[in-house]
Structure 1
Amino acid sequence: MRIHIIRLISIQLWKQSLKNKAVVFLLLILSLLFVFAAYTGWQDYKVQEDVRVKHQVEVRHQWEEKPDKHPHRMAHYGYLIFRARYPLSFFDYGLERYMGNSVFLEAHKQNTVNFSEAGFSSGMLRFGEVSTAMILQTLIPLFIFFLGFSCISAERENNTLKVLLSQGVRWKELLAGKILGLLFLVCLVFIPVMILSLVMWFSLTDFKNTFDEFLRLFWIAATYFIYFFIICSICVIVSAVSRTSRSSLVKLIGLWLLFIVIIPRTAQAFGAYLYPAPSKIDFDTRVENELVKTGDSHNPNDIYYKEIKDSLLHVYRVKTVEELPFNYSGYIMAQGEKISSGIYNKNWQKQLDIYEKQNTVNRSLAFVNPFQAVKDLSTALTGSDFNSYISYQQQVEDYRYQLAQLMNKLQMENISNKKQEANEKPYTISRSHWKDLPDFQYRFISQSTLFQNEAVSVLSLLVWALGLLFVLHFLSKTIKIN
């Protein structure tokens, strides 16, 4: 192919489009939408993060300032964790509005993450929010289709296509030039958007960014560029095989509805139908029924824990639990916490397996819908996807277990086994022990794990790009002028 011919065709499309006042107006509207989406996302993240940090510091202060108490009372007093957001989530909200913002941690009980914004919003939230990613994923393809639906079909209708080809222009050069011309027009908006996102991201992190975080933004830009190449190629191919511009436009609008609306909604419903997940009530009931069968760790004489008691007495060669060198109740509650956490984690993993099967149905359709692939990759790279939420829940549960077992350990080491009389002061330990609990540090999913989770999305985008190149090569040899 001759590069200068491709460049001339792309420049001609670029200039012709910009002469159209409607195109300039649309570019202006899109630019304003991007500025609005970026600013509201930036402001939302900043406000929420400031509130989160403020309340987390307050919770920590209240925890450490608690007076001398029995360790188990502190375990039930509990601790409150507020979910941190990844800075790039201002770019793509993903599931942010549906994820809870705080979770209460206490011994023997796994509470859900509560206070999601969707729970306080109207039904309009189901239609989505104006985020930078939403505009790039849904409105830019529509803009591309508007620009390119007649890029070749109009040439055929005006009989200028015969003139171009008779002058020595090859089909490959014509198709490539039209695709590049559309990409150049998209980049008039896309490049400023990425620069704006970079600046806002810097401001949110106080310019304290790591190389790993820079890579995420690079992968986001690369993902959307490949996505736009796919959309531009589809647009040019449809225009090339259509006899009229009207039929080309109808086909492209149909494809947009299929990709953006019909397939995603259908896939979600189909996945839930194939792999129905138990409700929260069913899940909690199943866990509770299993816990009942294991006994009550708060009762040191519970028959289910009799074997543990007998084995301890045998090992330490004593006759009563009061003679043990540690607090027996604390030891039993530590074992009970271990058992209850194991039951919960086992059932929770079963629930996650069902959700994964549902998501697999949705994810597999990325091979027939590039929108699904770019949506999954975008939310994963911005830390607002389902896997990030599950990772957060697992880390919170690990921290809750650590808190409960720390209090049980303090009870075992500092509380006497001697039974108290009715007029005696309850056993307590010094408040200085509360500082032994480390702060919760949320670890975002690493890039290696991220790309393992989204391998299907990455592969589907590559398959789409390479497949369209093959289609373009095939069309350049078989397509007819009329």
Structure 2
Amino acid sequence: MKNQIKIIAGHFLKTTIRSKALVAIYIVWLLLVVYAAFTGYKTYTTQNALRLQFQQQARQSWEANPDKHPHRMAHFGTFAFRIKHPLSVFDYGMESYTGNAVYLEAHKQNTVNFSEAGFSTGLLRFGEISPAMLIQMLLPLILFFLGFNTVAQQRENGTLKILLSQGAGFRSIIWGNSLGLFTLSVLFLLPVALATVFLLYLQPLLPADGLVSLRSIYLLLICLAYLWLVSTVAICISASSNSGRAALLKLLGIWLVMAVVLPKTLQSIGSALHPAPGKIEFDTAVEEDILKIGNSHNPNDPHFKRLRDSVLKANGVDSVSQLPFNYGGFQMREGERLSAEVYNNHLQQLYNLYEKQNNISNYSAFIDPLIGIKNISMALSGTDFKAYRYFQDNAEAYRYFLAQTMNELQMEHISNVKPAHDDKPQIIGREHWREFPDFKYTHQSLISIAQQQQLTIMALLVWFFLSFALIYFIAETAKAL
């Protein structure tokens, strides 16, 4: 049986490679790969250079501040920029639609802004040509075109009966042609892999926490598994169809459902079942809850008035001026804690809604492997929603740390007694700004990605094993006529 499979696979490759159509398709494919690699690398280098430059400028602006009151520095704030992962040259994912910079200041959580989609024309909604898109969307179409007529044509011209009479069973025929088509798919995958490796090599310094090599290996394995699945489906549909025309129509229908209908439909279903509030509605809800707590800038606010009384009582003093620390900084610290808690609670609720929306798409990986491939590809390339959320959470943690550090400096170095007209202003030295660490962007660990993509990984494993079951099922049910 192994020899039969080897002979059939070799015959498929020889026949297909001699085709003039394959030469034309491969040339167009190479041109698309070169274009996708060039535009991806240009976008990556341009965007990263700008973000690193602006991050450095934000730091220089922070350190250039003169001696001043620490609470003014908390309101002066800084910026956090999201640095692209090197593998974003392979899969753009959601990068064009999610923001890449956020202004960090005390008492307020700003949204991440300046997405590429916000500055582009409407053409972006038609999609971008990335190496991942070529493999996930275009290559299956090519493989369906090259494989739809393989067994169906043999059935139409009577060659299939001759093969079967010579001892080659349906199992060997399907296995051989599937391996032949899969080998052909690897020839299409090869220039994409080489282009990606070359682009990674061009980058002067790869981030250590990016684990680029390991992520690239996993991406390659996932692509190979996906192409094997596409190859087996193409041959099995051909083997179960009465004619090449019928096989082609079936395969085009499968591609249309997998690539267009299901993803768009499931997104709409998710948004309809779990509607998320808009930005204005979200900000209004946060502001209303913060107002219920109190205004930390108003010393006569009921909540903070009770807080002041309890602090005076705990320290055994009668007035704020007798406290061993600056009460204004203490009040700002408490207000920051409460407002951040309210914001994070609302943000978590919003994340939960997004998670419910995305789960509909994640579960659909069991009926549409393309969705699963996209999810894992984006996750490994650092371009999915989880990577964006990871940046947003890190930026918020840094903002909170900055605000509370400034409040603690106020508590430690600023007196409760307000200066007279001729006294020195209440300020601290600029060395404190320089000592405060800069924002450092980090990438998610592979363990975190694996935990987030457990459902998708399970779905793809199921599809991979089902591909073998499909071969045996079709081999048992297929007929020579």
In which range does the TM-score fall when normalised by the shorter chain?
A: over 0.9
CA contact (8 A) 2:87 2:212 kept: no
Partner AA of 1:469 in structure 2: F
Q: Deviations over 1:325-355 (max 9, x none)?
A: 1110000000000000000000100000000
C-alpha displacement of 1:300: 2.7
* Structure 1 stretch displaced more, 354-363 or 446-455: 446-455
TM-score, scaled to structure 1: 0.97
1:29 equivalent in alignment to 2:24: no
Q: Structure 1's 208 and 403: CA in aligned 2 closer, same or farther, altered over 3 A?
A: closer
Task: Write the distance in 2 (CA, Å) between the matches of 1:418 and 1:63.
Answer: 28
- How many pairs align? 481
CA contact (8 A) 2:148 2:237 kept: yes
CA contact (8 A) 2:209 2:442 kept: no
Look up the match of 1:183: 182
Look up the match of 1:90: 89
CA contact (8 A) 1:91 1:197 kept: yes
Task: Write the distance in 2 (CA, Å) between the matches of 1:364 and 1:349.
Answer: 22
1:42 equivalent in alignment to 2:41: yes
CA contact (8 A) 1:153 1:242 kept: yes
1:366 equivalent in alignment to 2:368: no
Q: Secondary structure at the match of 1:98?
A: coil
CA contact (8 A) 1:150 1:245 kept: yes
Look up the match of 2:104: 105
1:337 equivalent in alignment to 2:336: yes
C-alpha displacement of 1:133: 0.3
Look up the match of 2:440: 441
Task: Write the distance in 2 (CA, Å) between the matches of 1:350 and 1:293.
Answer: 19
Q: Structure 1's 207 and 444: CA in aligned 2 closer, same or farther, altered over 3 A?
A: closer
Q: Structure 1's 84 and 208: CA in aligned 2 closer, same or farther, altered over 3 A?
A: closer
Gapped regions of structure 1 (runs ≥ 5): none
CA contact (8 A) 2:77 2:103 kept: yes
Look up the match of 1:276: 275
C-alpha displacement of 1:208: 6.7
Partner AA of 2:170 in structure 1: W
CA contact (8 A) 1:264 1:372 kept: yes
CA contact (8 A) 2:209 2:443 kept: no
* Structure 1 stretch displaced more, 386-395 or 471-480: 471-480
Look up the match of 2:19: 20
CA contact (8 A) 1:363 1:457 kept: yes
Q: Secondary structure at the match of 1:103?
A: strand
Task: Write the distance in 1 (CA, Å) between the matches of 2:147 and 2:232.
Answer: 10
CA contact (8 A) 2:325 2:415 kept: yes
Task: Write the distance in 1 (CA, Å) between the matches of 2:285 and 2:199.
Answer: 46
Q: Secondary structure at the match of 1:97?
A: coil
C-alpha displacement of 1:292: 0.6
Q: Structure 1's 131 and 353: CA in aligned 2 closer, same or farther, altered over 3 A?
A: same
Partner AA of 1:358 in structure 2: Q
Q: CA RMSD in A?
A: 1.3
Task: Write the distance in 2 (CA, Å) between the matches of 1:108 and 1:6.
Answer: 69
Q: Structure 1's 400 and 46: CA in aligned 2 closer, same or farther, altered over 3 A?
A: same
Task: Write the distance in 1 (CA, Å) between the matches of 2:467 and 2:268.
Answer: 29
1:150 equivalent in alignment to 2:112: no
Task: Write the distance in 2 (CA, Å) between the matches of 1:241 and 1:133.
Answer: 30
Task: Write the distance in 2 (CA, Å) between the matches of 1:144 and 1:425.
Answer: 78
Q: Secondary structure at the match of 2:79?
A: strand
Q: Deviations over 1:52-109 (max 9, x none)?
A: 1112111111111111111111111110111111110111000000111210000000
Q: Structure 1's 208 and 336: CA in aligned 2 closer, same or farther, altered over 3 A?
A: closer
1:119 equivalent in alignment to 2:118: yes
Q: Structure 1's 48 and 109: CA in aligned 2 closer, same or farther, altered over 3 A?
A: same
Partner AA of 2:38 in structure 1: Y
C-alpha displacement of 1:187: 1.1
Gapped regions of structure 2 (runs ≥ 5): none
C-alpha displacement of 1:478: 2.3
CA contact (8 A) 1:42 1:204 kept: no
Task: Write the distance in 2 (CA, Å) between the matches of 1:256 and 1:477.
Answer: 25
1:314 equivalent in alignment to 2:313: yes
Partner AA of 2:47 in structure 1: Q
Task: Write the distance in 2 (CA, Å) between the matches of 1:61 and 1:178.
Answer: 62
Task: Write the distance in 2 (CA, Å) between the matches of 1:56 and 1:442.
Answer: 10
CA contact (8 A) 1:145 1:249 kept: yes
CA contact (8 A) 2:85 2:210 kept: no
C-alpha displacement of 1:4: 2.0
Look up the match of 2:389: 390
* Structure 1 stretch displaced more, 141-150 or 206-215: 206-215
Q: Secondary structure at the match of 2:59?
A: helix
CA contact (8 A) 1:202 1:209 kept: no
Q: Deviations over 1:180-220 (max 9, x none)?
A: 11111111121232122112112225367679432110110
Task: Write the distance in 2 (CA, Å) between the matches of 1:362 and 1:354.
Answer: 13
